[in-house]
Amino acid sequence: MTSTPTSVSSEGSINPKDILDPVVLQDLETHQKFMQCAIDTAEEALRGGETPVACVLVHGGKVVARGMNDTNRSLNGTRHAEFLAIAQFLEQFPPTEMKNTDLYVTVEPCIMCASALRQYGICTVYYGCGNDRFGGNGSVLSVHSDQSLDPGYPSYGGVYRKEAIMLLRRFYIQENENAPNPRAKGNRELKTVV
């Protein structure tokens, strides 16, 4: 799966959300490789009935931990992909090694996860699509860069943004019996234009 760094809308203009930061473009192939690992893990979550949000932690150029949401199965709202990946990481490394570790996650970390990542001192976060409801890396709050807190971390969005959005859309057109107020969705259609 390859995604172009930018896309043109039907009106001929480039969607600003598809413009990747020059820092990302400098090593786009590497970022796409690791984000593809997160996308593949999100696909696994979707097949298991979970919200398809997933991540990988990269240390020393290798994926050393993975996480996918486990909130539906566990009925525990704190079982986000980032928390599960951090737990797996800490089984192998001391917390201080987080400063030498990058996170690739399909959806911008929520406020809770952004705070945890900051407290652990993550090196850099790369995410697919923004999180307009709960985003902690700029969409709602800028937990990653708030100057009044501990040292922040750089965060870059847009790597495989469309693929991440399509995973979420595929999930949200399904029935979710674990939702607090499940709604019938039999008449919903998957929108394929991002």
Q: Look up residue 154 and give its two tokens.
A: 């750089």
Q: Given a cut of 60, is residue 184 above it in pLDDT?
A: no
In this structure, what CATH number is given to the domain that contains residue 74?
3.40.140.10
Question: Rg for the chain (alpha carbons), in Å?
Answer: 16
Sole residue written with tokens 């994926």: 63
Average pLDDT, integer, range 163-184: 74
Q: Considering the domain boundaries, does residue 95 fall inside one?
A: yes
Q: Considering the domain boundaries, does residue 86 fall inside one?
A: yes
Structural domain boundaries, residue 164: 30-168
Average pLDDT, integer, range 171-192: 61
Give the tens place of pLDDT for each residue, 52-73.
Answer: 999 999 999 999 999 999 999 9
Q: Considering the domain boundaries, does residue 46 fall inside one?
A: yes
Catalytic (active-site) positions: 82
Q: Considering the domain boundaries, does residue 52 fall inside one?
A: yes
Higher pLDDT, 165 or 2: 165
Give the tens place of pLDDT for each residue, 100-139.
Answer: 999 999 999 999 999 999 999 999 999 999 999 999 999 9
Alpha-carbon distance values, 45 to 13, 143, 171 (Å): 34, 26, 10
Q: Considering the domain boundaries, does residue 66 fall inside one?
A: yes
Average pLDDT, integer, range 141-153: 89
What whole-number distance in Å separates Cα of residue 6 and Cα of residue 11?
Answer: 14
**Percentage, residues of the chain above pLDDT 90:** 75
Q: Considering the domain boundaries, does residue 179 fall inside one?
A: no
Average pLDDT, integer, range 149-175: 91
Q: Considering the domain boundaries, does residue 181 fall inside one?
A: no
Average pLDDT, integer, range 86-93: 98
Q: Considering the domain boundaries, does residue 11 fall inside one?
A: no
Tell me the torsion sign for CA atoms 185, 73, 157, 38.
negative
Number of domains in the chain: 1
The 8-class DSSP code of residue 15 comes to P
Cβ contact 173:140 at 8 Å: no
Q: What is the pLDDT of residue 8?
A: 43
- Residue 6 pLDDT level (bands cut at 50, 70, 90): very low
Q: What is the pLDDT of residue 177?
A: 58
